[in-house]
A and B are shown apart, each in its own frame.
Chain A
């Protein structure tokens, strides 16, 4: 009964230690990050980042190399301990309830690898098990077939192409049907076909009601898939808005005009805000 109530009011239920309980009430926000600071020794990687991601929203975090995007994501994922600040995933405090917070998110890391000795079907079984989703062999095969990897079930991760590896990583990130998905440069190194396919999958996630936070270097990608984007540099958020709103807001800035070759694009705004110098 409790589970039914939870489903009715919140859209999902929680099972902790085998006990089903009512999920935290939806606030309309999938993720709330407040005044986040992350330091590596004396270096401040994230310096007071605050951002909110709405339910069902695709949010892009843009920035040059070393801007603090991956550190921000790592703190949300629980891989890094922030120096200060708070992170709430659907009202669940990441630091106070790390297990529950991790169950609410699906993660695709920038460079993911899986145990090299395991077959792909075994990798899916492992991660499904770690998220408390028991999958039978036919169910695993069905999931792999959905992403066109049904014939590769007995191969190893290292034997897959870059695009296949990304598809498998994304499958594993969403194997437990999480409400929030974090994708760190999901399309880097992919050819245009594979990139478009991935965009379609991301769009499908949104239609299924998930929220997505992704980092990318591709302004084309940000414009194509993101509802809102934040541009960050030196650990700080410089600006937030829809791609169209950011272009409109900065269209007449002299630096943007200087960067633009014709019609102002999101990339021109990005270059104007973060500078032209090369980053490591």
Chain B
């Protein structure tokens, strides 16, 4: 039998990425839970940490903003991202995408870009709320610097999310693990500038992913001067990103095991 005349196209990677980005952005905007996690939690924290007589113990306004940003980054980058990836893996969404001519890497890069976009919006919202209700206003260059640090922090926490989803096969287990991770990732960032729990905890806290981010955000917002410790935090953040990304990509499975 003579086949009917037809045309078969292999799209470019850029057109595949564009199509995926449009779909992933739509999906992200329709996920109410992820939007709540991304925006409500940091904002609630920003306001709540300013309440009460002893709120100053935790730190000044800049610290409250950086804490809110850290919570937002963990929510979006580590918990939200890894849960969404695990769910789509379990239901076979990725396998369906992988049988199209789109290069496989575009599937994941599209997800990362959407997460970075969500972080960007979250960071801007937190900074605006910080300026309007917490009284933290910064020079324009510090706002830009803070947003850039937030994007770097997003890379760190996304790579942690990638590592988790690479190492944990089941979406249910990952759900539980993701919630548990809030404690070390955010908790540790609280004690990088205080030795109330001892110098060892302070040291571990300061050089944890959250602690490094705190250091960088503090410098970006002008609360502390850019110092050798800031450079150390910057390099450590790059190191965390590379190590966790390698783990996450090396062991990632596209289909449910």
- B8 contacts A78, CB within 8 Å? no
Within 8 A of A (CB), among B115-130: none
* Interface size of A in residues (CB-CB distance below 8 Å): 51
Contact with B along A103-118 (1 / 0, CB 8 A): 1110101011111111
Does A268 belong to the interface (CB within 8 Å)? no
Are B11 and A132 neighbours in the complex by a CB distance under 8 Å?
yes
Q: B9: which of A15, A77, A107 is its contact (CB, 8 Å)?
A: A15
The interface stretch among A122-130, A147-155, A231-239, A257-265 is A122-130
Q: Is B199 an interface residue (CB 8 A)?
A: no
Question: Are A179's CB and B3's CB within 8 A?
Answer: yes
A112 touches B92 (CB 8 A): yes
Which residues in B have their C-beta under 8 angstroms from that of A115? 23-24, 27, 88, 93
Nearest CB of chain A from residue B201's CB, rounded to whole Å: 41
Write the chain B residue with the least CB distance to A104. B8
Shortest CB–CB separation between residue A235 and chain B, in angstroms? 19
- Beyond A118-B26, A130-B19, A132-B101, whether A103 also contacts B10 by CB under 8 A is yes
Encoded as 1 (CB less than 8 Å from any A CB) or 0, chain B from 19 to 40 comes to 1101110111011000000000
Q: Which residues of B contact A16 (CB under 8 A)?
A: 9-10
Q: Taking A113-B93, A122-B23 as contacts, is the C-beta distance between A18 and B1 under 8 angstroms?
A: no
Q: Contact mask A89-106 → B, CB, 8 Å, 1/0? A: 000000000011011110
B173 within 8 A of A: no
A56–B3 CB distance below 8 A? yes
How many contacts A-B (CB < 8 Å)? 135
The reply to whether B3 and A12 contact each other, CB–CB distance below 8 Å, is yes
A130 with B16, Cβ < 8 A, contacts A99-B10, A109-B99, A117-B30 known: yes
Q: Is B97 an interface residue (CB 8 A)?
A: yes
| CB proximity of B97 to chain A, nearest CB, Å | 7
Q: Among the listed A55, A109, A125, which residue makes an inter-chain contact with B3, where contact means beta carbons less than 8 Å apart? A: A55
Chain B residues with CB below 8 A from A127, complex form: 100
- Interface size class on chain B is 35 or more
Given known pairs A79-B98, A179-B3, A179-B6, the reply for A130 and B11 (CB within 8 Å) is yes
Q: Once the chains are docked, how many angstroms separate the CA of A102 from the CA of B95?
A: 13
A3 to B5, CA, bound (A): 11
**Could you tell me which residues of chain A, from 196 to 243, have a CB within 8 Å of some CB in chain B?**
206, 208-210
B54 close to A (CB within 8 Å): no
Contact for B8 among A23, A26, A109, CB less than 8 A: A23
Set B5, B92, B103, B254: member contacting A12, Cβ < 8 A? B5
Smallest CB separation, A245 vs chain B (Å): 20
Q: B107's closest neighbor in chain A, by CB?
A: A130
Is A59 at the interface (CB under 8 A from chain B)?
A: no
Q: A77-B99, A99-B101, A130-B16 are in contact. Are A209 and B9 (CB under 8 A)?
A: no
CB 8 Å contact bits of A3-25 with B (1 = contact, 0 = none): 10001000111111110100100
- A202 and B12 CA atoms in complex are apart in Å by 30
Q: Whose C-beta in chain B lies nearest to the C-beta of A13?
A: B7
Are A14 and B16 in contact (CB-based, < 8 A)? Answer: no
A64 within 8 A of B: no
> Quick one: which of A15, A26, A109, A130 contacts B95, CB cutoff 8 A?
A109
**Inter-chain contact B8/A14, CB cutoff 8 Å:** yes
Structural contact, B88 and A78, CB atoms closer than 8 A: no
Q: Is B2 engaged at the interface, CB distance under 8 Å to the other chain?
A: yes
**A109:B92 contact, CB within 8 angstroms:** yes
Q: Bound state CA distance, A118 and B24, in angstroms?
A: 9
12 sample A-B contacts, Cβ–Cβ < 8 Å, listed by A number = A13-B7, A18-B12, A20-B7, A109-B92, A113-B91, A113-B92, A114-B93, A122-B23, A125-B23, A130-B16, A130-B101, A130-B102
5 residue pairs, one from A and one from B, having the closest CB atoms: A132-B9, A56-B1, A129-B19, A209-B3, A113-B91
Interface residues of B (CB under 8 A from A): 1-12, 15-16, 18-20, 22-24, 26-28, 30-31, 88, 91-93, 95-103, 254-255
